[in-house]
Structure formats: C-alpha cells, structure tokens
Amino acid sequence: MAKEQLAYDEFMKGLWRENPVFVQVLGLCPLLAVTNSAINGLAMGLASFFVLLGSSILVSLFKSYIPKQVRISCFIIIIATFVTVVDYTLAAALPVIHKELGAFIPLIVANCLILGRMEAFASRNTLRMSVADAFGMGAGFLFALVSLGAVREILGVGEIFGFALFGANFEPWVIMILPPGGFITLGVMLLYFNWLEEKKNKIDKQLATEDGVN
C-alpha cells in the first residue's frame, strides 16, 4: 500500500508539483519552436513521452551494467534509439505532422529534460519508480506543450485543433503564432504558476503557525 502511494506521488510530482516546463523550466527549445498549434504540441508531447518512457525503462533496467564514467554517452545512445523509432514511425504514419515538426523530432535526443531524468532518476531508482516518474514527467511535458499550443492557436488563428471558434470576423493575433508570441505566452504561464506556488506557500505557512499555536 505504501509503495502504491509512492508511485502515485512520483507521477503527480512530474505532472504538477515539479512540472518540467512550468516549474523546472526545462526543454524550452522544442516547447517554443513547435507550439504554434495545439496539434503540433500534442504530437511533440506524445513523441517526447514515448522516448522518455522507453529510455527510462531501459536505463533503469541496465543501470548496474552502465559504467559510471561513460554513463552520459550510454544514456544518449539509448535515447537516440527511441528517437529514431519515433522519427520513422511519424514519417510513415503522419507525414504532414512529421514535416511540420521538422528537425525538432531528431532534436529530442538533445532534450535536457529527458537526459536529466535519466541522470537524476532512472539511473538511481527501481524500474517501477522510473516508470512512474517517466509517466509523470512525460505527462507534465505533454500538458505544457498542449496548453501552450492551444493558447497560441486560439489567439493566433482563432481555431483549436483545426476547428474554427469565432466565425469569419475573427481578427487573428499574428504575434501569437510568431516566436515572440511563444515567449510571451510562456512568460505569462510561468507567472501564473509562480503565483499559484506563492499562494500555496502562504497558506501552508499560515496552517503551520496555526498548528503551532494550537
């Protein structure tokens, strides 16, 4: 029972408390580059999710056989294997999206979020915990990509996943589908998350002092 609780905890940590984008601010390069529409964000998020999950499993399985001195190269080779799988799968199954994401699919290899989880978590924890962690972090990254892509698509072209929302008279916010729009949207979201965090800390502190008095 206690173990069950722990795995769930690892999952929620990645999805929310230590969200790779909104809290750790990792993996910004693909995040800013591909989120000009929700569907691109979703594809990128799922690709990263798969790579993260697969490499987490392999790394945590083979962690005792990977020599400490060359561990980074080993991680990269494992990650690159899964990225190649994703690359070819997307090219075969969804050529349009594959073309749209372009170089950013192969670049998942260099995503600091994935390498960071290998180094900090999968190579030190059991398979079970690593899978929970990969699920959480992958879902957190996916969540960030899709929400950023959705905001930018809604404001930038007035659509969500390709469905028009506002009718013909909509005035598109051109800046939102351009790179500055990505930075502005991400900045506002970070602001919001930090504000939530601060509010939560304040409440926690208040509760703690009240407990102390009682």
Binding-site ranges for other proteins (CB under 8 A):
158, 166, 169-171, 173-176, 178, 180, 184, 187, 191
> Torsions phi, psi of 66, nearest 5?
-85, 120
Residue closer to other proteins by CB (options 38, 42) is 38
Length of the chain: 214
Helix (H, G, I), strand (E, B) or coil at 160: strand
Shortest spacing between CB 80 and other proteins, in angstroms: 38
Shortest spacing between CB 9 and other proteins, in angstroms: 34
Say which amino acid occupies 115: L
Residue closer to other proteins by CB (options 96, 174) is 174
Written as six digits, the tokens of 66 are: 């990977």
Closest CA to 192 of 37, 35, 23, 41: 23
Residue closer to other proteins by CB (options 95, 179) is 179
Q: Which residues pair with 159 in a beta bridge?
A: 164
Shortest spacing between CB 174 and other proteins, in angstroms: 6
Shortest spacing between CB 177 and other proteins, in angstroms: 11
Q: Is the dihedral of CA 151, 153, 156, 157 positive or negative?
A: negative
DSSP strand pairing (159-160 vs 163-164): antiparallel
Residue closer to other proteins by CB (options 161, 166) is 166
Written as six digits, the tokens of 28 are: 């910004």
User: CA–CA separation, 151 vs 31, rounded Å?
Assistant: 13
Residue closer to other proteins by CB (options 16, 170) is 170
Shortest spacing between CB 182 and other proteins, in angstroms: 13
